[in-house]
Structure 1
Amino acid sequence: MMAPGRRSSTFTRLLRHGFTDPSAAERLLDGPELSPVRNDPVLLEALGVTADPDLALHGLVRLLEAQPGPTARRELLDTLIAAKPLRDRLLGVLGASAALADHLARHPRDWEALVTYEPRDLHPGVEEFERGLAGATDPVSLRVAYRRCLLSIAARDVCGTTDLAETAAELADLATATLRAALGLARAAAPDDAALCRLAVIAMGKCGGHELNYVSDVDVIFVGEAVEGADEGKALRAAAKLASHLMRICSETTVEGSIWPVDANLRPEGRNGPLVRTLSSHLAYYQRWAKTWEFQALLKARPVAGDLALGAEYVAAVEPLVWQAAERENFVVDVQKMRRRVVENIPVAEVERELKLGPGGLRDVEFAVQLLQLVHGRADASLRSGTTLDALQALAAGGYVGRADAEQLDVAYRFLRSMEHRIQLYRLRRTHLVPEAETDLRRLGRSLGLRTDPVAELGQEWKRHAAVVRRLHEKLFYRPLLDAVAQLAPGETRLSPKAARERLVALGYADPASALRHLEALASGVTRKAAIQRTLLPVLLGWFADSADPDAGLLNFRKVSDALGKTPWYLRLLRDEGAAAENLARVLSAGRLAPDLLMRAPEAVALLGDGDGGGLEPRGRAHLEQEILAAVRRADGVVQAVTAARGVRRRELFRTSAADIVASYGTEAQPVEADQGALVDLVGGAVSDITAATLAGTLRAVVRDGWGDTLPTSFTVIGMGRFGGHELGYGSDADVLFVHEPRDGVDEREAADAANKVVSEMRRLLQISSADPPLLIDADLRPEGKSGPLVRTLKSYEAYYRRWSLGWESQALLRAEVVAGEEELGRRFIELIDPLRYPADGLGEEAVREIRRLKARMESERLPRGADPKLHTKLGPGGLSDVEWTVQLVQLRHGSTHPGLRTTRTREALAAARDAGLIPDEDAATLDEAWVLATRVRNAVMLVRGRAGDTFPSDPRELVAVGRYLGYGPGRVGDMLDDYRRTARRARGVVDELFYSG
C-alpha cells in the first residue's frame, strides 16, 4: 500500500501531466507490470504528452500483460525507457488509438515494428509496404500485417514525423500494396482464371489521389482483357471472379477485423454495370453515356495493381475525355447538382457535426479545386494532379486562384483533414462526424497540439477553419476574375483574358466578354465604392451562377449599381445586412419582371434588407389605401396624383414579386420550405390589395379634379373574377363592375354623365404610357357585355338581373366583392346579387346542363391554336378553369344552405365544400394541388418573361427559370413538365366525376 503522502504527491503529478482519472492511473502504476519503472519520471512525462494519458497508460499495461513472459516484458520496458523514439511512437499510438492498442494486445511482439528509426522508415513507399505484407498467406494474416504497417504510419503521424499530406500518401501507398497482395491471394486461389486474363486495378477517389484516410472505402475500377488466344467472354468472367475475390479479401470481417471495403461503384453504370470491362468497352461508355461527375471522378484515376501496363493504357485513353468535360453543356450545373445532392442527404441532426460534407467541410475544398482543374486543366497540364493540395498549389502558381486564398485554404484543409484522421484513428472506424463527448473532444484537441483548454480551443479552431472554407469556396472561383479586370496588384500572377472567359463560360455565363466588361466597370479603381464591390462580387457572382440566367443577373446588378452608385446607403446595405445581397442576387437573376420594376425605382433595393424599409412582407389594403390617398392629396393635378398612386403600386408589386422569388428560391440561411399554397395566397392577396388601393386612389383623384370633394352620384367599384377572388396574378387585368346611384336632388342624367366621366378618366389615367406598369380595367363582365353601358345605377342592375340575367352571369357574380368607392352602395349591390349567386332552391337540372355546355364550348373554342392542352394552365384539362367551374357549380347549388361556400376565394370555397361533405377529402386535395400549381406556373411565366402567359415558355433558358421558381433544380425541367401533366391529369379525373357526371 502506498503511503498517503506519496499517494497525494503522485496524484498531483498525474493531474499535472494531464490524467483525468488519477486514482485509476495510480493503481495501474502500482501494479506488477510497471513495478520496475514506477518511479521513473521519464515514463510519466512521456505519457503526459500523449493525446490521452489515461488511454496510453491502460494500453501499455495491456501490452505488458500480453508479453509471453517476464523476459519479454523486461525487454520492452528497458527499450521503452532507453529509446526515446520508440517511447514517443509507442505511447503516442496508445494514447491516440484504442483500436491499435487492441491490435498490440493481440500481437504483443508487433511493438518491435516501431523500433526502427532509419531514413527509409520515415517515408516508406509501396515497395516497403509490399515487403511488410509479403509474409501474408491468407486474409487473416494479411489483416495482421496490414495493421502492423498501419501502426508504423500512425506512430509517425502522432509524433509529427510526417505531416498530413505525407501521412495520407503513406496510407494510399499501403492501400496499393494491400490491393496487390489481395490480388496475389486471389490469383493463387484460382490460377486457371489468372491465366486467362489481364486485370488492371485502377484506384479512384482518395486512394487514386494519393490522399487516403485511415479508414475509408477504397474506390476502384477494374479493367480486363483476354490474354492472347483466350476467349474474351471467358477471360472477362475469370477477371470478374478475381476482382470479386480481391474485394472479399479486403472487405470481409475475420477474427482480425476487416481492412476496408473495396468500392467499385464508380465504374460505368455503377452497381448495375459489369464489374470488369475491357478498355474499349470503358471508352465506348465514356464517349456516349457518361455524366459529368464521372469525368470529375476520373481526374483521380491511377493504376495501382494487377497489369500496370493495361492500367496505364486505360488512364492514357480516358485522360483526354476528362479534360474535355468542361466543354460539356451544363458542366457546372451538373457539378453543383452533385454537390447539392450530397449536402441534401446529410441527416439534419448531423449537419453541424459533419466534418466532410457539411458547409465549410472538406468536400467544399475538394469540389472547388476539382472544378477549377477541369476548367483550366484543358490548356494547362500543370494542373492535372489528383492530389487536392498539390492541385491547389498548382492553381495558385498559375494565377488561377489568389496565392493568399490558396494558402488560407491549404491551412484550413490540412487542419480539417487532421481532425478527420485523428477521429478515425481512435477506433479505426469510417466516420466524418466530430464527437460530442467531452472525453473524445479532449483527446482530439490534445492530439492536434491544443493543450491549454483542448475542448474549447478545438471548437474555436474548427469553426475558424470551416468559416475560412465557406468564405473562400465561392471566392476561389470569382476573386481571380476581379483581379484580372481590376489590375490593382501589378506583380501578382493573374488570369489571362482567355482563362477568365473560360471560367465564366464554365460557370454558366453565356456572354463572358460582356460579363468581364461589367466586372471591370464595377470593380476597377481605388475608390471606396470599387473596394466594397470587390468584396461583394465574389459572393454575388456565385448566386448569379446558381440561377437560370447569370448574365441577366450581372447586367441587372450593374444597372442598379450605376443608378445608386452615389447613394451612400446602397453598398452599405448589401455589405452589412446579410439578407439584402443574396435577396438582390436572387431577384435580379430570376427573370424580367422584378428587375424591370426595380430599374424604374432603384431605391426599392432598401426593401430587400432587414432594416426599417418594411422588408418583404406585403402591406395590407388599408395601409396601402391610406398611403395612396395621402399622396393624392399632396399632388398638384390629377395626372400627378395618379402617377403617385401608380408609383406606390410599382413599389408594392416589386415588394411582392421579390418576396415571392426569395421564398421560392430560398437562401443559404433559409432553404426553401415555403408552402406552395401559402405563396399563391400571398401573391394573389397582395396584388389584389395593391390593385384595389390603386383604384381607390385614382377614383379620389378623378373626383377631386372634376367635382371637388363630392361627386353628384354615389359611386362604387366591384371587383370581379380573380380580382374579386383575391387571386390576381402579376399580369392580370382588373375585372370590375361600376355602380352608381344619384344623390338626393341630383338629376339622373347629370349623375350618369358624372359616373361615365369618372370611369373613362380612371381608365385613361391608369393606362397613360409611363415608367410604371399599366393597369388595364376590364368591364366586360357587365350586363350585356361590351355592348352594355360601362356604368349603371343600382336600380338598372336590379332590373336587368330580374329580367334578363343568364346562368353564366350568376356564376360570374360568385366572385363579386367591393374594392373601391362608397362602401354603403357596394354593400347594397352585394345584397342585391346574393339571391342570384346563392339561389334559395339551388340549381335546376337545365341550369346545370347549360353551365356544362358553356364549359365544354369554352374548352373547344378558346384554347389557342397550336397550344398543348395538357400544359395550358387556364383552359387545359385539370387547369384553372376546370377547378374553378367545379367549385363554382358546388357554390351555386349549395351556397344558400352552407354559409362557408359564400366566399369569393376558390381555395376557401373548396375547403368549405370539403368540410361540408360535398367533395370528398381526397378529391378536394387533388383539385387544390392542381389549382395551386397552375397558378404558380402563371406567376412564374410572368416573373420570368415580363409578360403574361398561360403555358410553359418554349425558350429553354426561360423554361429552366420557371423550373427554378417552382423548386426544380438544374436538369429537372423534364420532371417539372411530367409532374404538371400528372397533377393536371388527376385533377381532370376529379372534374369529370364531380362536374360532368356528379
Structure 2
Amino acid sequence: MRRDQATLTELARLGFAALSGVRAQLDELVVAVPIDVDELLPAFARAADPDEALSGLLGLARSHPDAVTAALADATQRDRLIRILGASVGLADFFQRHPGEIAAVTGWDGALPDRGELVDSLLESVGATDGFAAVGEDDGYTRLRVRYRRWLARIAAHDLAAEDPREVFDAVAVALSDAAAAALEASIAVARTQLTTAASGPMRFDEDEVRWTRFAVIGMGKAGAGELNYVSDVDVIFVAEGSEEHDLSNARAVDVATRIAMLCMRGISQPDIEPELWEVDPNLRPEGKQGALVRTLDSHLAYYERWAKSWEFQALLKARAFAGDVELGQRYVDAISPLVWSSAGRENFVGSVQRMRERVTENIPTDEVHYQLKLGPGGLRDVEFTVQLLQLVHGSAEPGVRVRGTIAALNALSEHGFIGREEAAEFAADYRLLRVLEHRLQLHRLRRTHLMPRDADALRVLARASTFATTGDALVTLWERTKHEVRALHERLFYRPLLSAVASLPEEEVLLSPEQAGARLAAIGFLDPLGALKHIAALTSGMSRRAIIQRNLLPVMLRWLGEGADPDYGLLAFRRLSESLGTTHWFLRMLRDSSSVAEKLTRVLSGSRYIGELLDQIPEAVAWLEQDSELRPRSLDALSEEISAILRRHDTDAPAATAIRRLRRREILRLALGSVAGPLPLSDLAQGLTDVTTATIDGLLRTIRRGDGLGTDSLEFAVIGMGRYGGAELGFGSDADVMYVYRTTSLPNEQTHLAANRIISELNRLSEDARLPLDLDVNLRPEGKNGPVARSLDSYRAYYARWSLTWEAQALLRARGVAGDAGLQRDFEELADSIRYPADITENAVREVRRIKARVENERLPQGADPTRHVKLGRGSLSDVEWFVQLLQLQHGAAIPGLRTTSTLDALTVAAENDLVGEETADRLRAAWIFSSRLRSAMTLWLNKTTDVLPSDRMQLDGIARVLEYPPGSAAQLEQDYLQVTRRARSVFEKEFYGAPQRPEPTAR
C-alpha cells in the first residue's frame, strides 16, 4: 500500500493528473514494447501534458510497436517523441496515420531547416523537376502534405526542446514561413502538371502555355513577414505575366495562372485522406473577394494608384515574393513599395487605420473578447497595428524602418530613434510571449485558434507547454499583466516621444526632430502639427509639478484626442482649460486618477466647439465628468430656488441679472456635456433646455418687477411661451418664441401699457448675453412684426374675436404660460383654448393652412438652400411634422382632449391612438422629427453656431455624426440616414396633409 501511494505521489510530481489510470497504462505499455519504466518516466516530466503523452505513446505502441520501440531506445529520441506527444494531439494522430514518420522526426539531428532545404524536400516529395511534378497513382498532394507535416513535427521538436521558447521563437516562425512557402512551391508544380493532363478536361492547357506563364505568389501578413504560426491562414496575392518571346499574351497567361492558383489552393486546403494543411487566403487582393483572383503587375498598379484604401497599403507593408516566379514577385514588391511608403500622407490615413482596428475588435463575439490572444485589447493586433503605424509614418523619410517583421521593425524603429531601446525590448518580449502562447494552443490539435482556454486543466497544460508558469493561475496572472502592458503600448511608443521633442525629458527618452514629431501628429489626425507641438510644449515644459503630471497624462490624452473629430481644437481647448485650472489641487489629480474622466474630457473637447467655448467661461464644470448624475438636467423647482437665493443676495438689478445669466450658461453647459459625454435622451434635453430658459426669464422678470410701478400691485404681467419653447421642445441654439400679456390692477390703462413695455425693455436688456445669446422672439404675436409687442388680455380677446387669422390660431396651439403672474397665465391659456380648438373648422380654413405651408416652403427657405438638407423647413423635416400635427389639432382638438397639448410628439401619439393617422405614418413622422431635432442640436454643438442646413463638407458631417454617436468616418452614413428618414416622412406627409380627403370626426377616447 505504501509503495502504491509513493508511486502515485511520484506520478503526481511528474505532472500526471489522471492518476487512477496511469498505472494501468504504464503496465500495458511495458507489455506492448520492451521498456524500463524507471528510465521512461523522467521524460514525462518535461512533457506539457504527461497524461496526453502517455495516452499517445500507448496508442502508437499498440498499433506500431516496432516504430515506438526504436524511438524509445535512445534517450534523446525518447525525450523528443514524448515532448511532441505531450504537446500535440494533432501530431500524435499524424504518427498514427504514418508510423514511418516517427523515425524521420526522432532520428533527425534537431537543427532547424533553411528555406532551400525545405523547398528541395517538398519538391522532391512530388517528384518535381523543371517546374512540373511527377503525378503517379495519386495527384501528389497527399505526398506533399505528409512531407510538410514531417517538417512541421521537426520544427515543433526543436521548439519544444528549448528551455525558454521565446529564445527560439523568431527562428521557429521563420522556419514555419519557409515551410509554407515550400509547400506552395510544390503545390504549384503539381497544379502545372494537372493542367496539362487529360484529367483536366476542357480546362486543359498546352504544356508550353503553362511553362511560359510567369506566376508569382506574394506573401502577405505573417507569411510575408516570416512570422507564421503552426496553423496560420497564409495570406497571398497572385500575379501573372505572359511572354512576348514565346508569343503568350498577358490575357492568356492570366487564364492559365488563375487555374494554377485555384488548383494550388485546393491542393493545400481541400479536405482529403491526409487532412488539409491550412487555408490559402487570397482575399487581400484588389477588390477582395469580388476581385479577379489573378492580375498582371500593371493591373495591380493601376488599382493601387487609383482605387486602393489606406488599410490596403498597411497590408502591403509586409508583401514579399513568397513562391513561384521570384523575379516577377520582386518586381511586384519593388513597384508597390513607393505607394506603401507614401500612404501615410493620404487624407484621413490614421482614421482608416483606427477604424480597421476597431472593426477587428467589434467583430469579436462578446463572450470571447477577454480570451482573445490575437484580436482582443492588449493582444497581438495592438502590437502589430502600432508598429505598422509607426513604420508608415516614419518610413517615408527613413528607409531603415522599411522591414516586414514585427520584432525586426521594433528593433529598426529603436535603432533610428523613433522609440526607446528599453521600450522596444520590453514590447518585443511581450509580443514573443503572446506568440508562444498562440503557438502552443495551435500546436495542440493543429487547428487555427487564438482563444485562451477557460478550463483549469487546459490552462495548466498550457503553462507547462510554454514553460512560463507551473500552474494555470500563475499563467493567467502573467498573461493579464502582459495584456495590461500591451494596452499601454500605443501611448508609450507612439505618443511619449512627441513630448521628448518639445519638453525636457531624461536623456534615455527618444528625441524626435520637430519634423518627425510633426509627421507623427499629422498621421494621427492633427491638421496643424506645428501648432499642436506648441501646445504640447506649453503644457509639458519645465520641472513644475504640473508639467510633470502633464507629461504623464499627455501620451494617453493625445491618443484620445487623435481619435476625436477635431484633434487640433481639442488640444487647444485642453491647453486653455489646463491654464485655467492647472494650479488647482483637484484638476490634474482627477485626470491622472480617472482614465474615464480623461477620456470623456478629450471626447467633448475634440467633438464640440460649443462645449469648449463654454468651458472657457466655466472651467470648474469639468469636475461634473466624474459623476453621470452631474450631467443630468436640474429640475425647474431647483433652478427657481437657486434664483430666489440670488435675488436675496443682490438688491440691485445688474448683479442679480449677471448671476442669473451665469446660472443659465452653467446649466446649458451641463446639458451640452450630458449630450456628448452622457446618456441624455432627447426628451430630457428638450425639457432641460426649456426649464433653464423658463427659470432665466422668470428670474429676470422677478428682478425687474422689484422696481417702482412694475410690481404686481401695479399690474399683472406674464410671458407666454410659443413655438418649440411653448412645446418644451427646445434644442441647442433654438430661439425662445414668446408673447407678452398684461392686465391692469391699479394703474390707468395708458400707464399700464407703458409699464408693460418698460418691463419688456428691461427684460431684453438684462437678458442680453454676447457669449450665449438668449433670443426672445416675438414674431408670433398677433399681426406679426406690425403688431404691438405687448397687449392686455382684453386686447388679445378683442383681436382674436374680430381679426384672428387661421395661422394665428395655429400659432396658439403651442402657447403656454411660462413666467409672470400665474392667474394671468391661466386666463390667457383659457382664451387660447377657445381659439386653437374650434368646435368646427371650415374647409376654407384647412385649405388656408395648406396654402400657407406651401408658401412657407417656397418663400422661407434661404435662397439656394437644398430643400432636402434643411432640417427645419426642408422636405420631411421638423416643419412638415409639426404642420401635419397642428392641422390635426385644429381639426379634432375640440373633440379629443388628448390633442390639447403643446407637445408635437404627444399630439402625434394621441392622433395615432384615435385612428386619425395610421401607425406606420405616425412612426415615420415621429422618426423624422426626432432625427431632425437631434441633428439640429448636434450641428450647434459641433459648429458652435446655429444652422438649419445639413453641411455637405465631409469633415463637418463626420464631426456632427460623432456628436450623434456614429463611429468615425460616418459622414456618408449620417447623410444617408437623414435623407432616408426625411424622404419616408415626406412621402406620407404629402399624401396625408395635401392629398387626403377630410376624415370623419372620430369618437374621443
Tell me whether the two structures share a fold, i.e. TM-score over 0.5: yes
The alpha-carbon deviation at position 632 of structure 1 amounts to 2.5
Alignment of 1:307 with 2:309, yes or no, is no
The alpha-carbon deviation at position 377 of structure 1 amounts to 0.7
Residue 218 of structure 2: aligned partner:
202
Matching residue's letter, 1:107: H
- 1:951 aligns to what SS in structure 2? coil
The alpha-carbon deviation at position 901 of structure 1 amounts to 2.1
- 2:498 aligns to what SS in structure 1? helix
Total equivalences in the alignment: 967
The alpha-carbon deviation at position 496 of structure 1 amounts to 1.4
Q: 1: CA distance between counterparts of 2:35 and 2:708?
A: 108
Alignment of 1:51 with 2:69, yes or no, is no
The alpha-carbon deviation at position 868 of structure 1 amounts to 0.9
Give TM-score scaled by structure 1 length. 0.94
Task: Give yes or no for contact 1:29–1:35 (8 Å, CA) kept in 2.
Answer: no
How do 1:121-160 residues align onto structure 2 when only pairs under 5 Å count? 121-137=110-126, 138-160=140-162
Q: 2: CA distance between counterparts of 1:186 and 1:689?
A: 76
- 1:846 aligns to what SS in structure 2? helix
How do 1:216-365 residues align onto structure 2 when only pairs under 5 Å count? 216-227=232-243, 228=245, 229-365=247-383
Task: Give yes or no for contact 1:251–1:259 (8 Å, CA) kept in 2.
Answer: yes
- 1:303 aligns to what SS in structure 2? strand
Q: 2: CA distance between counterparts of 1:975 and 1:548?
A: 15
Residues 774-802 of structure 1: CA deviation (Å, up to 9, x unaligned): 21211222222233332233333222222
429-438 or 653-662: bigger deviation: 429-438
The alpha-carbon deviation at position 319 of structure 1 amounts to 0.9
Of 400, 406, 412, the residue aligned with 1:382 is 400
The alpha-carbon deviation at position 446 of structure 1 amounts to 2.2
Gaps of 5+ in 1: 664-673
Query: What's the Cα RMSD here?
Result: 2.0
Residues 836-870 of structure 1: CA deviation (Å, up to 9, x unaligned): 222233x3211111100111111111111111111
Of 983, 986, 989, the residue aligned with 1:988 is 986
596-605 or 787-796: bigger deviation: 787-796
Residue 185 of structure 1: aligned partner:
190
Alignment of 1:30 with 2:27, yes or no, is yes
The alpha-carbon deviation at position 740 of structure 1 amounts to 2.4
Task: Give yes or no for contact 2:232–2:279 (8 Å, CA) kept in 1.
Answer: yes
The alpha-carbon deviation at position 56 of structure 1 amounts to 1.0
Matching residue's letter, 1:643: T
Q: 2: CA distance between counterparts of 1:144 and 1:816?
A: 85
How do 1:344-423 residues align onto structure 2 when only pairs under 5 Å count? 344-423=362-441
Q: 2: CA distance between counterparts of 1:103 and 1:794?
A: 97
Matching residue's letter, 2:99: P
The alpha-carbon deviation at position 66 of structure 1 amounts to 2.4
Task: Give yes or no for contact 2:391–2:409 (8 Å, CA) kept in 1.
Answer: yes
Matching residue's letter, 2:114: G
Alignment of 1:872 with 2:909, yes or no, is no
- 2:240 aligns to what SS in structure 1? strand
The alpha-carbon deviation at position 834 of structure 1 amounts to 1.7
- 2:718 aligns to what SS in structure 1? strand
Residue 667 of structure 1: aligned partner:
none
Residue 203 of structure 2: aligned partner:
none
Task: Give yes or no for contact 1:196–1:238 (8 Å, CA) kept in 2.
Answer: no
Of 546, 564, 588, the residue aligned with 1:547 is 564
The alpha-carbon deviation at position 327 of structure 1 amounts to 1.5
The alpha-carbon deviation at position 42 of structure 1 amounts to 4.0
Task: Give yes or no for contact 2:736–2:776 (8 Å, CA) kept in 1.
Answer: yes
The alpha-carbon deviation at position 73 of structure 1 amounts to 4.1
The alpha-carbon deviation at position 955 of structure 1 amounts to 4.8
Residues 4-32 of structure 1: CA deviation (Å, up to 9, x unaligned): 44333322222222222101112101214
The alpha-carbon deviation at position 428 of structure 1 amounts to 1.3
Task: Give yes or no for contact 2:566–2:959 (8 Å, CA) kept in 1.
Answer: yes
Residues 750-782 of structure 1: CA deviation (Å, up to 9, x unaligned): 44333322221011111154xx41212112222
Residue 528 of structure 2: aligned partner:
511
Paired-residue identity, %: 49
Alignment of 1:175 with 2:175, yes or no, is no
The alpha-carbon deviation at position 200 of structure 1 amounts to 1.0
Task: Give yes or no for contact 1:735–1:780 (8 Å, CA) kept in 2.
Answer: yes
Residue 496 of structure 1: aligned partner:
513
Matching residue's letter, 2:837: Y
Residues 918-938 of structure 1: CA deviation (Å, up to 9, x unaligned): 211111111111112222221
Task: Give yes or no for contact 2:105–2:150 (8 Å, CA) kept in 1.
Answer: no
- 1:429 aligns to what SS in structure 2? coil
Q: 2: CA distance between counterparts of 1:113 and 1:155?
A: 12
- 2:23 aligns to what SS in structure 1? helix
Matching residue's letter, 1:219: D
161-170 or 875-884: bigger deviation: 161-170
The alpha-carbon deviation at position 487 of structure 1 amounts to 2.8
- 1:122 aligns to what SS in structure 2? coil
Residue 925 of structure 2: aligned partner:
927
Q: 2: CA distance between counterparts of 1:340 and 1:561?
A: 30
- 1:820 aligns to what SS in structure 2? strand
- 1:568 aligns to what SS in structure 2? coil
Task: Give yes or no for contact 2:80–2:157 (8 Å, CA) kept in 1.
Answer: yes
Of 526, 529, 546, the residue aligned with 1:529 is 546
The alpha-carbon deviation at position 895 of structure 1 amounts to 2.1
How do 1:937-956 residues align onto structure 2 when only pairs under 5 Å count? 937-956=935-954
Task: Give yes or no for contact 1:225–1:232 (8 Å, CA) kept in 2.
Answer: yes
Matching residue's letter, 1:412: D
For the structure 1 residues 458 and 914, does the alpha-carbon distance in structure 2 shift closer, same or farther, using more than 3 Å as the test? Answer: farther
Q: 2: CA distance between counterparts of 1:803 and 1:250?
A: 91
Gaps of 5+ in 2: 127-139, 197-206, 997-1005
Matching residue's letter, 1:405: E
Residue 74 of structure 1: aligned partner:
69
Q: 1: CA distance between counterparts of 2:984 and 2:480?
A: 49
- 2:814 aligns to what SS in structure 1? coil
The alpha-carbon deviation at position 586 of structure 1 amounts to 1.3
Residue 211 of structure 1: aligned partner:
227
Alignment of 1:724 with 2:748, yes or no, is no
Q: 2: CA distance between counterparts of 1:754 and 1:708?
A: 6
Matching residue's letter, 2:757: N
The alpha-carbon deviation at position 456 of structure 1 amounts to 1.5
For the structure 1 residues 276 and 748, does the alpha-carbon distance in structure 2 shift closer, same or farther, using more than 3 Å as the test? Answer: same
The alpha-carbon deviation at position 408 of structure 1 amounts to 2.9
Matching residue's letter, 1:283: L
Residues 426-485 of structure 1: CA deviation (Å, up to 9, x unaligned): 111112122222222221222222554x22222222221111111222332211101111
130-139 or 890-899: bigger deviation: 130-139
Residue 199 of structure 2: aligned partner:
none
Matching residue's letter, 2:955: R
Of 728, 735, 738, the residue aligned with 2:737 is 735
Q: 2: CA distance between counterparts of 1:75 and 1:861?
A: 98
Give TM-score scaled by structure 2 length. 0.93
Residue 642 of structure 2: aligned partner:
627
For the structure 1 residues 249 and 791, does the alpha-carbon distance in structure 2 shift closer, same or farther, using more than 3 Å as the test? Answer: same
Matching residue's letter, 2:281: D
Task: Give yes or no for contact 1:33–1:65 (8 Å, CA) kept in 2.
Answer: no
Of 424, 437, 456, the residue aligned with 2:455 is 437
Q: 2: CA distance between counterparts of 1:196 and 1:585?
A: 60
Residue 889 of structure 1: aligned partner:
887
The alpha-carbon deviation at position 591 of structure 1 amounts to 3.2
The alpha-carbon deviation at position 397 of structure 1 amounts to 2.0
The alpha-carbon deviation at position 822 of structure 1 amounts to 2.6
Task: Give yes or no for contact 2:719–2:738 (8 Å, CA) kept in 1.
Answer: yes
Residues 193-229 of structure 1: CA deviation (Å, up to 9, x unaligned): 4223011111111011100111111111111111322
Task: Give yes or no for contact 1:33–1:64 (8 Å, CA) kept in 2.
Answer: no
Residue 853 of structure 1: aligned partner:
851
Q: 2: CA distance between counterparts of 1:836 and 1:246?
A: 83
- 1:518 aligns to what SS in structure 2? helix
Alignment of 1:108 with 2:108, yes or no, is no
The alpha-carbon deviation at position 116 of structure 1 amounts to 4.5
The alpha-carbon deviation at position 710 of structure 1 amounts to 4.7
Q: 2: CA distance between counterparts of 1:902 and 1:87?
A: 91
- 1:623 aligns to what SS in structure 2? helix
For the structure 1 residues 473 and 800, does the alpha-carbon distance in structure 2 shift closer, same or farther, using more than 3 Å as the test? Answer: same
Q: 2: CA distance between counterparts of 1:408 and 1:610?
A: 37
